[in-house]
Amino acid sequence: MANEELMLDHEMVKRKKKAGKITALIALVLTAVLAVLIIIAACVPVNLKPNIDAPDRIAVYNQTARYGEFEKDRDQYNSFMEKFNNMYDASYLVSLFSGRLGSYNVEGQKENVLLSKVMSDELQKGYYVEFKYDQPQTLKNQDGSIHYSIYASNETLTYTSVYFAISETDRLNTLNIYIPVKYRSKSDTYALHISQKANTHDIFEHITDYKTF
């Protein structure tokens, strides 16, 4: 009887050791898979650029003074737009943890924030950019659908300018792009906005490299 109990205990120990090895192996495999997924996510690029068309001209301001202007199809304009498109680049991993994985909403209709307030409270405190359009542009959502007024279901909103501040900080930050709009039922100009992650450092360097435009 004692021998049988000893053999049974020995068998149980062997089974526990085997189960422990299997558990450790599974944990090791899962850790390796997770590491591979993290590496892939860190390498896969995504672009968080909003649905904003390329402008006809780009004006740059330093507080209330105009710093200069880029004309379309000129070298400075093309270089600026290349940096503008690239400033939304980020890895999938960074985008995921920043909470802005390419998704955004056009916001601000309910708040009724005047453009003049945005200019004085935010934009005119440093360098900022204005995209200028010769023809009115229809405001669209991220998916390309038309963004309608909340005051009339058939009222499309158009704009001829877009504003955003730039910073020399070399990291991905929340960037507010302000879009001035007018409603048929209101006389003032209001600022809607799109909040997205971007790194404006290269644009800042590009602009400040040119002392005259």
pLDDT score of 43:
45
**Domain enclosing residue 38, as ranges:** 1-43
**Does residue 156 share a domain with residue 87?**
yes
Q: What pTM was computed for the model? A: 0.73
Domain boundary (43, 60, 75) is at 43
**Does residue 72 share a domain with residue 31?**
no
**Does residue 127 share a domain with residue 34?**
no
pLDDT score of 139:
94
Q: 176-206 burial, b for 16+ CB within 10 Å, e for fewer?
A: bbbbbbebeeeeeebbbbbebbbbbbbbbeb
pLDDT score of 58:
94
pLDDT score of 166:
92
How many domains does the structure of the chain reveal?
Answer: 2
**Does residue 77 share a domain with residue 35?**
no
What's the pLDDT band for 142 if we cut at 50, 70, 90? confident
Tens of pLDDT, residues 69-127: 889 988 889 999 999 988 876 544 455 455 555 567 788 888 889 999 999 999 999 99
Rounded to 5°, angle at Cα 73 from 196 and 87? 20
pLDDT score of 117:
93
Whole-angstrom distance, CA of residue 85 vs CA of residue 69: 18
**Does residue 171 share a domain with residue 143?**
yes
pLDDT score of 67:
81
Return the bridge partners of 132, or none: 57, 161
**Does residue 152 share a domain with residue 123?**
yes
- Separation in Å, CA 163 to CA 46, 160, 190: 23, 10, 12
Tens of pLDDT, residues 3-55: 555 555 556 656 656 656 666 666 665 555 554 444 443 444 555 678 888 99
**Does residue 68 share a domain with residue 37?**
no
Whole-angstrom distance, CA of residue 164 vs CA of residue 167: 10
**Does residue 157 share a domain with residue 66?**
yes
Tens of pLDDT, residues 157-197: 999 999 999 988 888 788 899 999 999 888 899 999 998 88
**Does residue 116 share a domain with residue 80?**
yes
Q: Which two tokens stand for residue 201?
A: 């450092």
**Contact in structure between 183 and 148 (CB atoms under 8 Å):** no
Does 198 have pLDDT greater than 50?
Answer: yes
pLDDT score of 42:
43
Q: In this structure, what DSSP letter does residue 129 have?
A: E
**Does residue 22 share a domain with residue 38?**
yes
37 torsion bin: left (phi>0), alpha (psi -120 to 50), beta (else): alpha
**Does residue 132 share a domain with residue 80?**
yes
**Does residue 56 share a domain with residue 29?**
no
